[in-house]
Amino acid sequence: MSIDVVNVSKAFGGFRAVDDVSVSFGRGRLTALLGPSGGGKSTLLRIIAGLEEPDSGRVYVDGQDMTHVPARRRGVGFVFQHYAAFPHMTVRDNVGFGLRVARVDRTTRARRVDELLDLVHLQGLAERYPAELSGGQRQRMALARALAVEPRLLLLVEPFGALDVKVRAELRAWLRHLHEQVNATTLFVTHDQEEAMELADQIVLVNEGRIEQVGTPEDLYDRPANEFVMAFLGATTRLGGVAVRPHDIEVFTDPVDGGTQAMIERVVGLGFHSRIEAALPDGSDVTVQLTRAHAHELELRTGDIVYLRAIAGAASHAG
């Protein structure tokens, strides 16, 4: 289903969590709501789910006004950051909860739950209690529980936030795959730009209750709307008063058109690439990232004078 959020605002006390936001999410797409903590992205997701009522504005699902429809009638699958497992129910009863309150008969329910447990690779753990599962298993149980009601819209809050790095990488690939399998419009909240870039078709960058930019991961990385977006998506450095990415700076050992003179202060080998820290004549510092091979070729050493120039067409922002 498609979602249109129109002029939505929500304040908690004096704090404007969501500030006049309008955004659309296309059918069947996987969208990341990316931004720093406390920026309002979770509140926006909760408003879409019906867990929070906006102070003003409207939420349309497939063109239908859902602003005041309670969560239970929205048919939305919601996965909470800490999973919100029902602790006194087995995995089977957790996953089957939505079917139970919908009065689906016992046999159908059992069959459906088994299918879902297969889908999330939890076969054999059906009779366990949530406390007896690992973090990754609990996450997958929460996902199966949300999918049981066959939502056309799946919302996830920091889906990998509480997991360790290795499990996180596995689950990412798996979630991408799952999204294609279940054919739901999926929105997830994250503060991790790498996660957003790896998983999402579309990124909505949210900061201080407002949307900074909407686009594909490439759009945001290569054509950031402002310096905040640019800095949030990856490393930046300043060359001649302009923000550029460290890997978008070319290094020359001889003077070159449009080049800025700089003295190398430090060369740091970081495996595949090397980081050059240099000082400009005006005293400001600049960081350049090169492949190790390229750095070797140029024979860069501390104290050398080099000429730096941003690559043509590189993402940049005058600040």
Partner 1 sequence: MAEAAAALPRPWPRLTAKVGGSLGPGAALLYLCLLVGLPVAALADRAATTHFWSAVTAPQARSALELTVAMAVLTAVIDAVTGVLVAWVLVRDRFVGRGLVNAVIDLPFALPTIVAGLVLLSLYGPGSPVGIDVAQTRMAVLLALLFVTLPFVVRAVQPVLLALDRETEEAAACLGARPWQAFRLVVWPAIRPATAVGAGLAFARALGEFGSIVLISGNLPFHTQVASVFISGRVESGDIPGAAAVSVVLLAVALVTLAALDLVVRRSRRRG
Closer CB to partner 1, residue 112 or residue 145?
145
CB 129 within 8 A of CB 60: no
Q: Choose the stretch contacting partner 1; rule: CB under 8 A; options: 100-108, 197-205, 210-218, 304-312.
A: 100-108
Closer CB to partner 1, residue 140 or residue 245?
140
Q: Does 159 bind partner 1 (CB under 8 A)?
A: no
> What is the C-alpha separation between 93 and 74, in angstroms, rounded?
22
CA angle in degrees (0–180, nearest 5) for 33-36-42: 45
CB 251 within 8 A of CB 290: yes
**Backbone φ, ψ for residue 235 (5° rounding):** -65, 145
Q: In this chain, which of 145, 168, 191, 245 binds partner 1, going by CB under 8 A?
A: 145
Q: Does 129 bind partner 1 (CB under 8 A)?
A: yes
Closer CB to partner 1, residue 60 or residue 129?
129
> What is the C-alpha separation between 309 and 160, in angstroms, rounded?
39
Q: Does 174 bind partner 1 (CB under 8 A)?
A: no
Q: Does 49 bind partner 1 (CB under 8 A)?
A: yes
Using CB under 8 A, which residues numbered 248 to 307 contact partner 1?
Answer: none
Using CB under 8 A, which residues numbered 218 to 237 contact partner 1?
Answer: none
3-12 and 76-79: which strand pairing? Answer: unpaired
Q: Does 70 bind partner 1 (CB under 8 A)?
A: yes
CB 93 within 8 A of CB 112: no
Q: Choose the stretch contacting partner 1; rule: CB under 8 A; options: 18-26, 86-94, 281-289, 296-304.
A: 86-94
Q: Does 165 bind partner 1 (CB under 8 A)?
A: no
Q: How far is CA 54 from CA 19, 35, 48, 76, 226, in A?
A: 10, 20, 9, 17, 28
Token look-up 């996830």 returns 156
Strands of 242-244's sheet in order across: 237-239, 242-244, 316-318
Long-range contacts of 239-244 (CB under 8 A, 24+ apart): 239/280, 239/286, 239/308, 239/310, 240/280, 241/318, 241/319, 242/310, 242/316, 242/317, 242/318, 242/319, 243/316, 243/317, 243/318, 243/319, 244/310, 244/314, 244/315, 244/316
Q: Choose the stretch contacting partner 1; rule: CB under 8 A; options: 73-81, 218-226, 243-251, 279-287.
A: 73-81
Assign residue 297 a region (left: φ > 0; alpha: ψ between -120 and 50; beta: otherwise). Answer: alpha
> What is the C-alpha separation between 107 and 120, in angstroms, rounded?
20
Q: Does 54 bind partner 1 (CB under 8 A)?
A: no
Q: Does 214 bind partner 1 (CB under 8 A)?
A: no
Q: Choose the stretch contacting partner 1; rule: CB under 8 A; options: 15-23, 94-102, 211-219, 251-259.
A: 94-102
Closer CB to partner 1, residue 85 or residue 244?
85
Q: Does 77 bind partner 1 (CB under 8 A)?
A: yes
Q: Choose the stretch contacting partner 1; rule: CB under 8 A; options: 61-69, 75-83, 163-171, 219-227.
A: 75-83
Secondary element (H or E) of residue 183 = none
Q: In this chain, which of 11, 110, 149, 314 binds partner 1, going by CB under 8 A?
A: 149
Can you say whether the dihedral through the CA atoms of 226, 291, 195, 183 is positive or negative?
A: positive
Minimum distance from residue 78 beta carbon to partner 1 (Å): 4
Closer CB to partner 1, residue 21 or residue 99?
99
Closer CB to partner 1, residue 12 or residue 252?
12
Q: In this chain, which of 27, 68, 82, 121 binds partner 1, going by CB under 8 A?
A: 82
Please report, as ranges, the residues that interact with partner 1 according to CB under 8 A.
49-51, 70-78, 80, 82, 84-88, 97-98, 100-102, 129, 131-132, 142, 145-146, 148-149
